[in-house]
Amino acid sequence: MLDIKFVRENPEIVKENIKKKFQDQKIPMVDEVIELDQKVRSVQQEGDDLRNLRNTLSKQIGALMKDGKKDEAEEVKKQVTANAERLAQLEEEQRKLQDEIKKRMMTIPNIIDASVPIGKDDSCNVEIEKFGDPVTPDFEIPYHTDIMERFDGIDLEAAGKVAGNGFYYLMGDIARLHSAVIAYARDFMIDRGFTYCVPPFMIRSNVVTGVMSFDEMDAMMYKIEGEDLYLIGTSEHSMIGKFIDTLNDEEKLPYTLTSYSPCFRKEKGAHGIEERGVYRIHQFEKQEMIVVCKPEESPMWYDKLWQNTVDLFRSLDIPVRTLECCSGDLADLKVKSCDVEAWSPRQQKYFEVGSCSNLGDAQARRLGIRVKDKDKNKYFAHTLNNTVVAPPRMLIAFLENNLNADGSVNIPEVLRPYMGGQDKLIPKH
């Protein structure tokens, strides 16, 4: 959410930013916000005048009563009562106007970074850099669920009976590999100085609206019926929510946290055939990283965060690339974002395995995450998040890139301590 003062003073910048995000239907909201803001300030001024007058009249009543002028005092009291009624009306009017402003401000997109490429959708995203050489083996690589089935490692049919489409049972070596990757990712981030955390897996609605746009909320979140609780779509939500309504000492920044959680997503809409199996599902587990920092440090942390993911995947012998998200592919709260994509030898292309985002002060402004410097000045923090690793999608890249012609799967050296020392998985079929 933008600062109302910024919108008031820079309406054309805000409108141009909306155009860059190809959301022209939101442009009228800028003028609506400014008009409503003028009304709020007018109402507030009238209310302040009445409060000042109330203080003056209260003193006048006291003086009149002291002088024995009871009738005159009663007349002044009537005026005080009338003013109080008007003040109550003004306060209610101001509340309604502020609600209308907030409703619009919550949908006006954040100002994107000047470096963000302009484009309507993800087809306009721009490749930044590749890490590792993509390898195409001289044998056919099966679909990822077929690889897992060779190890008796997945049961989609039973999961469908129990929970429906978009769920799975992982079994045996594949389930162990899944947990090993999560555990390795946890320790990888701890070794990089991040504090490990297991957060709540449900959050209240005020946290939901604080961390994401309404469009994201509608497409992702599962609501707990009859309660003000939602299942998290990623632990970023509850991790950023941890700082709601806090005033943080600047000297303690940055906060760097890495968190484990299950994630639950509606995944609305139809997806292509390459997204069957366990590519796009309603439940998965993830290791996440978040940073709460000073505004001037957020660009540096943005680069550090995506580099962490690249380094982790390369340590597992998986080639990756980074992709700069264009303006139209950015969620409304994001200032800048990039995807980390892993190489798929079977498909001969890269696919998304993580996303890194700088949200500026948008989440902090919504959630009230403030910082106090040594001079007692207060400002909103910047927040960032990035996927460390999210199996089972990451397992697709792992299995394809470490598969051998005989059906076995190599275990990279860094992962072996988490797999009981195994250096290779041997298929059962």
Whole-number pLDDT of residue 21: 97
Whole-number pLDDT of residue 205: 94
Whole-number pLDDT of residue 421: 97
Q: Report the topology of domain 122-425.
A: BirA Bifunctional Protein; domain 2 (3.30.930)
Domain ranges of the chain: 4-105, 122-425
Cβ–Cβ < 8 Å for 221, 208: yes
Cβ–Cβ < 8 Å for 155, 146: no
Q: Which two tokens stand for residue 16?
A: 């141009």
Indicate the DSSP class of residue 251.
G
Average pLDDT, the chain: 93
Q: Does the pLDDT value for residue 272 go beyond 60? A: no
Residues 138-147, mean pLDDT to the nearest whole number: 95
Q: How confident is the model at residue 270 (pLDDT cuts 50, 70, 90)?
A: very low
H/E run at residue 134: none
Which residues 6+ apart lie within 8 Å of 393 measured at CB? 278, 279, 280, 284, 353
Q: How confident is the model at residue 385 (pLDDT cuts 50, 70, 90)?
A: very high
Q: Does the pLDDT value for residue 98 go beyond 60? A: yes
Whole-number pLDDT of residue 143: 95
Q: What is the DSSP pairing of strand 126-131 with strand 154-155?
A: unpaired
Q: How confident is the model at residue 268 (pLDDT cuts 50, 70, 90)?
A: low
Residues 336-348, mean pLDDT to the nearest whole number: 96
Given CATH 1.10.287.40, say whether it is the number of domain 4-105: yes
Whole-number pLDDT of residue 274: 52
Q: Give the torsion sign (CA, 314, 316, 320, 322).
A: negative
> How much is the pTM?
0.90
User: Cα 360–366–372 angle (5° rounding)?
Assistant: 70
Residues 226-255, mean pLDDT to the nearest whole number: 96
Q: Does the pLDDT value for residue 161 go beyond 50? A: yes
Compute the CA torsion angle 333, 337, 343, 346 (nearest 10 deg): 30
Q: Which two tokens stand for residue 288?
A: 């996440």
Cβ–Cβ < 8 Å for 249, 372: yes
Residues 400-405, mean pLDDT to the nearest whole number: 97
Cβ–Cβ < 8 Å for 258, 222: no
Residues 236-260, mean pLDDT to the nearest whole number: 97
Whole-number pLDDT of residue 273: 42
Percent with pLDDT over 90 in the chain: 82
Cα–Cα distance for residue pair 263/322, rounded to 1 Å: 23
Q: Which residue from 336, 289, 126, 313 is spatially nearest to 195, judged by alpha carbons?
A: 289
Percent with pLDDT over 70 in the chain: 98
Helices (H) and strands (E) in the chain, counts: 13, 18
Q: Which two tokens stand for residue 284?
A: 């998965």
Q: Which residue from 210, 257, 217, 267 is spatially nearest to 235, judged by alpha carbons?
A: 257
Weakest mean pLDDT among 40-54, 133-147, 148-162, 331-345: 40-54
Q: Does the pLDDT value for residue 429 go beyond 50? A: yes
Q: How confident is the model at residue 48 (pLDDT cuts 50, 70, 90)?
A: confident
pLDDT tens readout for residues 180-224: 999 999 999 999 999 999 999 999 999 999 998 877 888 889 999
Burial 333-368 (b: 16+ CB within 10 A, else e): bbbbbbbbbbbbbbeeebbebbbbbbbbbbbbbbbe
Burial 395-414 (b: 16+ CB within 10 A, else e): bbbbbbbbbeeebebbbbee
